[in-house]
Structure 1
Amino acid sequence: MNDSFPLLRSVVLDCTDARRLAEFYRELLGLKYRTGDEPPPAGVEDVRGQDWLVLRGVDGVGLAFQQVDELPEPTWPTGERPQMLHLDLSVPDAEKLSAQHRRALELGARLLRDRFDDPDEPLYVYADPAGHPFCIFVAPVG
């Protein structure tokens, strides 16, 4: 690690249901909860899920979810509310893109744009359950 630069720990997404959005990305990306942020047992109040949750990948970088009372959904690609941020996710080939497309929809993503047939960069653009846009596209590993 180079201590001349800050360390990127998390990308934080505001949302009105932190647990639901964390579960969506946990399943989509195979991430793990930070210790203590796991869902509580049935019948126990989800105190942490009403405030702030963190998921981590094997590289240590994660996604965090911050509960807010209200969040206007982006209207991207048109309209008055831009996306301001989106996540780019990639897979190595079109077959894996098709499989991840089905998974994303099954987990609750909403398709915004279908560019699967693009010869240069096959991709799908989605909105997650909170309305944040994200892409899954074919790109070389690395």
Structure 2
Amino acid sequence: MSEYPRLLHTVLDSTNPRELAEFYRQLLGLRYRPGDEPPTDGTADDRDWLVLTDSDGAAKLAFQLVDRLPRTTWPRHDVPMQLHLDFTVSNASELERQRARAEALGAELLFDRTDDPDEPLYVFADRSGHPFCIFVA
């Protein structure tokens, strides 16, 4: 028995869980939990909960349907971000490659701090408006 709870996964709210799950699946190279794959028979995709796993099957991110999701106004605090995800890359050229990938997948660039010699980074909003960072660490 463990002395501490174990983090299972991080859950992101979305008005379109499939679209957001697909964004992160492609961005991070994750896969759907068995049974959560998109329908291939033309039926409507009405799932209100989806899970993405790593290649070993460990849950990483989950997505749940909400009726509405006010988009954060970060860096203003009218609507705070409440949570964000951090992703790291090994060098500046990889940072630029991942910026292009994120934007091609529908991310919106919110902040560019690539001129910081100690920790260059980009802050993006995903397709549901959740902020996430990619930086060199």
Range of TM-score over shorter length: over 0.9
Shift of 1:58: 3.8
1:64 maps to 2:54:
no
Match of 1:20 in 2: 19
Distance in 1 of aligned mates of 2:31 and 2:113: 30
Distance in 2 of aligned mates of 1:106 and 1:3: 42
Structure 1 consecutive aligned stretches of length 4 or more whose deviation exceeds 3 Å: none
Distance in 2 of aligned mates of 1:42 and 1:17: 20
Shift of 1:24: 0.2
Any idea what the Cα deviations from partners look like across 1:84-104, whole Å, max 9, x if unmatched? 000000001101001000000
Shift of 1:16: 0.2
Give the length in aligned residue pairs. 136
Shift of 1:61: 3.9
SS of equivalent to 2:87: strand
Distance in 2 of aligned mates of 1:30 and 1:96: 15
Q: How does 1:1-142 map to 2 (within 5 A)?
A: 3-48=2-47, 51-58=48-55, 60-139=58-137
Q: 1:39 to 1:71 in 2, by over 3 A?
A: same
Contact 1:8 1:61 (C-alpha < 8 Å) held by counterparts: no
Percent of matched pairs sharing the same residue: 60
One-letter amino acid of the counterpart of residue 123, structure 1: L
- Structure 1 stretch 2-11 or stretch 126-135: which is displaced more? 2-11
5+ long unaligned stretches in structure 2: none
Any idea what the Cα deviations from partners look like across 1:105-126, whole Å, max 9, x if unmatched? 0000000000111111000000
SS of equivalent to 1:62: strand
5+ long unaligned stretches in structure 1: none
| RMSD, aligned α-carbons | 1.2
